[in-house]
Amino acid sequence: MREITNIHTRQILRDRVVQLLVYAAVLLISMVFIWILADLVRGGIAHLSWEFLMESPRDAGRTGGIASILVSTLLILLTALLTAVPVAWTTAILLVEFVPADSPFGKTVRFSLHVLAGVPSIVFGLFGNAFFCIYLGLGFSILSGGLTLACMLLPILTSTAEAGLRAVPHAYRTSASALGLTRTAALVHLILPAAAPVLAAGLLLGIGRALAETAALLFTSGYVERMPDSLLDSGRALALHIFDLSMNVPGGDMPAYASALVLVGLLLCINTLAMKFAYGLQHRKIMT
Amino acid sequence: MLTDKLLIGILRAGAMMAALVMLLILIFLMHESWPALSTLSIGRFMTDASWHPLEGAYNLMPMLSGTVLASAGALLLAVPLGLASALFIVFYAPLHLATLYKRLIELLSGIPSVVFGFWGLTTLVPLINQWNPPGASLLAGILVLAMMILPTVTLTAYTALAAVPDELLRNAAALGLSRWGMIKGVALPAAKTGIAAGIILAVARALGETMAVLMVAGNVVQYPETLFDPVRTLAANIALETAYAMGDHRAVLFVSGLLLLLLIMVLSGMAGLLEKQRHA
């Protein structure tokens, strides 16, 4: 009897120890996360102002603001999205609505995108430099950077859109065809609207990914910090600006902190919104 | 019906483009690295005296060792912490805390690598420097990388653990297993392929990570002797030198990019196989 209680107390003790370790790990991670955020806020808040957002950088970014950087970032982002979104969403629609899941064509496309999703961003940078900048002759430009990012965004945009379309109940499709709708009409009026929240969530995740990217833009969109005149001008993205200020500009820490704060703030908002869309859909599915 | 045909045509064109991007990337990497692969023997990437590309010495091994060591160190930290986080979300935390913590991890995964690098440079490196100079070191790289792959480990392990059938857990509880007994004896074995796949993905991410490591690891081409020695990883090397590299030097950088890509493709292939096994 004593032996059994002994084992029992040992088990309780072991449970407690494991629980303690798990809580310690969680506490550690949460604290590091808060540490990073607090550091960024403390370092950046003093330098952050309306003028900082609205002025162009001077003296290699030590003074002035980030207006031209924000414009370049926006242009790169728009180029990437306008190229990637049509390709990704048409691919997703084809894979879900028109091709059987195990057809050779579908399998090939899915495999190719799966591999693409694993390519590290620096390799995208190499490819973009060789293909867009040199082979297509676009040079170091916003266009090259945006197109490189578009390649990078394809997998995430396609897979989220695919998941969203697959979550639309099959009854929608059968009812539409029973009513005599063409498949195009069913898609446009019924299936896409139903999948819209997930498409939006995927889009937001893609935007977040694009804003966070540095390595792929390093030798595609270039380093020039002045206001871009056209898409063929070189333009520096916000993430790259932080990198340059902290690594290459002595005394660039303050504006780097402020820029990092802007970037992280933007990304936290975008990703929280994306989660809202995605979770909102789950709730609705439970309700109906 | 005509609109349907037209639509399918457009969709097919889009999907073809999506599929061709990967092929295009492979072709261009091969094409750019061909000058080096055809004129230099592969052995030279391992046996050359050092990495002095301007004098024609192309030893990639110190950088490869930097990549492997940094990733391995990051893994040693991130796997236990990530697993503990996943266990916390699934088994230990009350519901609202679990949701909150999961959101936090998801937000952590959205923080850009350049911000991790910047934070490491301004906070971690000075701290390590006080302890054991120079600060910019393998250790700093490992710590920053660990934070970056932690969400991957946590979220994949969470998905795998949450997919363990309730029935199994209830049976374990009915047999009077303690909580840790249930986790160790039932939940972890049932979820192990999913967890392993997630860990492999995290390794792939660590191998390819560039900016954060570049900013904190010191970038000296050498075999590190201690955790406090600066190292340069393959990805960091590409980022540092591609801007001015010409001729063979540029081709060798593309070779290292190709090497990185192949390593990661093998890893994600393995992860894919494990996932398939799980669903079979």
A94/B88 CB distance under 8 A = no
Residue A99 pLDDT level (bands cut at 50, 70, 90): confident
Please write the tens of the pLDDT for every residue from A221-230. 888 888 888 8
CB B78 within 8 A of CB B150: yes
Please write the tens of the pLDDT for every residue from A141-177. 999 999 999 999 999 999 999 999 998 988 999 999 9
A246/B80 CB distance under 8 A = no
b/e burial code for range A208-237 (CB count within 10 A of at least 16 → b): bbbbbbbbbbbbbbbbbbeebeebebbbbb
Listed residue (A235, A152, A165, A172) closest to A196, CA to CA: A165
* Tokens, residue A42: 């403390």
Please write the tens of the pLDDT for every residue from B162-181. 999 999 999 998 998 888 98
Nearest chain B Cα distance for residue A281, angstroms: 16
Give me the interface pTM, i.e. the ipTM: 0.91
Domain parsing of chain B, residue ranges: 2-39, 47-279
Pairing of strands A57-58, B57-58: unpaired
Q: How many CB pairs under 8 A join A and B?
A: 243
B265/A30 CB distance under 8 A = no
Contacts of B215 in chain A (CB under 8 A): 243, 246-247
What does the alpha-carbon distance between residue B54 and residue B31 come to, in Å, rounded to a whole number?
21
What does the alpha-carbon distance between residue A138 and residue A34 come to, in Å, rounded to a whole number?
42
One-letter amino acid of A32: V
Q: What is residue A2's three-state secondary structure?
A: helix
Contacts of A270 in chain B (CB under 8 A): 110
User: Which residue in A187, A208, A240 is closest to B110 by CB distance?
Assistant: A208
CA A108 to chain CA mean position, Å = 25
B118/A87 CB distance under 8 A = no
A114/B268 CB distance under 8 A = yes
Q: How far lies B131's CA from each of A135, B5, B124, in Å?
A: 49, 69, 11
H or E stretch at B247: helix B247-279
Res A60: pLDDT: 81
Chain B's closest residue to A140, CA to CA, is B243
For the ranges A100-104, A248-252, B41-45, B156-160, which has the lowest average pLDDT? B41-45
* Tokens, residue A150: 């578009």
Say if B59 is an interface residue toward chain A (CB within 8 Å).
no
Say if A124 is an interface residue toward chain B (CB within 8 Å).
yes
Please write the tens of the pLDDT for every residue from A209-245. 999 999 999 989 888 888 888 888 888 999 999 999 9
What does the alpha-carbon distance between residue A242 and residue A23 come to, in Å, rounded to a whole number?
34
Say if B27 is an interface residue toward chain A (CB within 8 Å).
no
Per-residue DSSP letter, B218: B
Residues 6+ away with beta carbon under 8 Å from A40: A257, A260, A261, A264, B115, B119
CB B74 within 8 A of CB B149: yes
Chain A's closest residue to B113, CA to CA, is A212
Chain A's closest residue to B77, CA to CA, is A25
Res A1: pLDDT: 59
CATH code of the region B47-279: 1.10.3720.10
Residue A43: half-sphere exposure toward Cβ, Cα within 13 Å: 22
Given a cut of 90, whether residue A285 has pLDDT beyond it is no
Q: Which residues of chain B have pLDDT under 50?
A: none
Say if A66 is an interface residue toward chain B (CB within 8 Å).
no
Q: Of all residues in chain B, what percent carry a pLDDT higher than 90?
A: 69
